[in-house]
Each structure stands twice: as structure tokens, then as C-alpha cells.
Amino acid sequence: MQIGSIKFKRPMLQAALSGYTDRAMRMLARRFGCELTFSGVMLDKSACHKSVLRMKNYQILDDEHPIGGQLLGTDPKIMAQAAQNFVNQGYDVIDLNFACPAPKVLRRGRGGAMLDNPRLIIEIFRGVRDAVKIPLMMKLRIGIDESEAAREDFWRICEEAITGGIDALIVHGRTTSQYFRGKADWSVLAELKKKYPQATIIGSGDLFEAADIIEKKKTACVDGVAIARGAIGKPWLFRQITDLLDGKEEIFKPDTTEQGRIILDHLNMLAELYEPKKRVWYFRKFLAHYSKAHTGGRKLKMELVTAHDEDQLRTAIKKWYDVS
Ligand SMILES: Cc1cc2nc3c(=O)[nH]c(=O)nc-3n(C[C@H](O)[C@H](O)[C@H](O)COP(=O)(O)O)c2cc1C
């Protein structure tokens, strides 16, 4: 997989996930072989404020390269300025978000709400393209809704972005109005890659299990896959994909104790980012996912997600995961 001047050994990346892809999640993805991670999307106006860029989750340390930053916004000039600020911040790749379906984003006409306005999207793309030299990509859904007009808008955006020199497109195979319902339509990804074989096309949508991810990638002939929800509470998914690509007969499956160590490492990394109270509360959404790989079921999950403080949480993790 190649995005502009950056080449990757493995055809996968850690997708941007607002509220999840902080430094801890990104570093875990990296540990299991993911070579490109993204921090969560940032509003263009926020990226023009030094105080926001100074926040820990947007500070880039030396061990995090290459890393992508993602921008959301509707004003070509502010988006271009924000992109320049991201370059100064140390980001290696910039991604423009025209895919977010969150109601508060759509209400303001941002993200996935912009897919019916190809002219504006292309104006933003050109403005940012002129403003920065680093690899530039766009995140799209396959249309604002299921209508014919929406599909035409989608193809127009792809055509103009690719001919205008976009370095990669990440396409989530759902429409904005679909939100996360139904199945991602990977046939659109196949069609896109077939139409523009020279472009770097990265597929997104319903990527949870290594074998299925490789099958989807192979069938659609895309250059790479963006792992999103699949890596929450399962950072070793990247290693499993790598093992399968390398033709290993047995893919990496951490045993219970190893899972426990990964969970504790994750918690340790959060200590650098959040205050004690916040990190126990914040970690719950990850624990709910981590617990799925354990046979302890509901009892385990409840004990982990109801721990009141860090000591209690550590004790529960050590007990259930047999970590000394
Ligand atoms: C909680 C959550 C936060 C997300 N945040 C972002 C984001 O900041 N930027 C983005 O481009 N996509 C974001 N996405 C979309 C994912 O990157 C991905 O495209 C989508 O989840 C489909 O892939 P999946 O079905 O494999 O999870 C988010 C998805 C979820 C569930």
C-alpha cells in the first residue's frame, strides 16, 4: 500500500475513531504491526487554535510516525489553514472527512452531509492540496443516501479527486443516511478500484475478523483496508491479518493471561493521558470489547465495567485474566 510518498509493508491502517484513537490505542495498534494510525477527527476551526493543538491526544511524539490527522469543515480557507497547522504539528498525512454521519455533524452541514455538494468538496480538496505538500487523502461514504443523484455525486467526487491528485481515498461502503445500519457495500469499492486502477483505494466497513477482512480486500481488489471498530478491544487483529497475509498456518491468538497483560498495558498508557477518575470511566468502553474474547461472559464484563477506581479495576483484571 502506498499513500503519496509513504510506502507501507502491510495493506492496513488504523482508521480514525473519535473518542477512541488516542495515543494509547494508536500505540497498541502499532505494537501489533499497524504502520499508519489516525487521531480522531478535528474540526478545522479547532485546528486553528494553539490551545487545542497542545492537547495531549493531538501531540505527536517521535515514536508515532507516520501518523495521520483528520479534518472536518466546510470552509475551504479554514480547512487549508487547519491543514497547514497539522503539518506544523508533525502529522505525516492529512485526511479530509466527508463521511461522518453523527447527527450533530450533519445538523451543521459537515462530514457526510457534504456528499451532495461535490463542488464544495472539490474546492476544499484543491485548497488543501495547494496548501500542503504531505500526502492528502479523503474519507467518503458511497453517497449521501441511496438515490441515483447521490451515487452520481459520489462518482463525480471520486473522479475529480483522483484526477486532481488525491493520494488515497478511504471509502466506507455505506451511505450517510444508512448511518451504521445494514451491510457495507464492498461492490462499490470493487467498481471504484476497477475504474481507477492507478488510485490508492482503501476500503472501510464491517472489518472485524482477519480472514473475512482479507477476503473482502481480495474480492474488491483494493489497495488497503481501514480497520475501525474491529480493533476496539482487539488490537491484536492487526497481527492476525499480518499472519494470514504471511501464510502462517496458525494465526496469533493471545491466551487469557496475554490478553490481561495487553489490557493492563493499555490502562498504563492511559495514565499518561487522563486523570485517575476519568481513565477508569473512559476505559469502560474498551473493557466491554476486550471482555468478548474471554469466556467469563457477563459476569466478567460487569465486574470490569463497574469497578469504582483503578485499584479495584486492576485487581479484577488480574483475577479474571490470571495475571500475577
Ligand atoms: C465510535 C466511532 C467513531 C468514529 N470516528 C471516526 C472519525 O473520527 N473519522 C472517520 O473518518 N471515521 C470515523 N468512524 C468511522 C470508521 O472509521 C469506519 O469508517 C466505520 O466504523 C466503518 O468501519 P467498521 O464497520 O469496520 O467499523 C467512526 C466510527 C465509530 C464507530
Question: Residue 95 Cα, ligand 1 centroid: separation in angstroms?
Answer: 13
Does residue 204's CB lie within 6 angstroms of at least one atom of ligand 1? yes
The model's pTM is 0.96
Name which residue sits closest to atom 3 of ligand 1, judged by CA: 17
Question: Which residues of the chain form CATH 1.10.1200?
Answer: 256-321
Over residues 217-246, the pLDDT tens digits come to: 999 999 999 999 999 999 999 999 999 999
Q: Which atom of ligand 1 is nearest to the CA of 208?
A: 26
List the CATH code of the domain at 256-321: 1.10.1200
Question: Residue 142 Cα, ligand 1 centroid: separation in angstroms?
Answer: 14
Over residues 66-103, the pLDDT tens digits come to: 999 999 999 999 999 999 999 999 999 999 999 999 99
Task: Name which of 109, 98, 172, 100 is nearest 136 in CA terms.
Answer: 98
Question: Which residues of the chain form CATH 3.20.20.70?
Answer: 2-245
Q: Which atom of ligand 1 is nearest to the CA of 206?
A: 25
Does residue 17's CB lie within 6 angstroms of at least one atom of ligand 1? yes
Q: Which atom of ligand 1 is nearest to the CA of 228?
A: 27
Does residue 207's CB lie within 6 angstroms of at least one atom of ligand 1? yes
**CATH topology classification for 2-245:** TIM Barrel (3.20.20)
What pLDDT was estimated at residue 198?
97
Does residue 216's CB lie within 6 angstroms of at least one atom of ligand 1? no
Over residues 257-294, the pLDDT tens digits come to: 999 999 999 999 999 999 998 999 999 999 999 999 99
Does residue 185's CB lie within 6 angstroms of at least one atom of ligand 1? no
Does residue 16's CB lie within 6 angstroms of at least one atom of ligand 1? yes
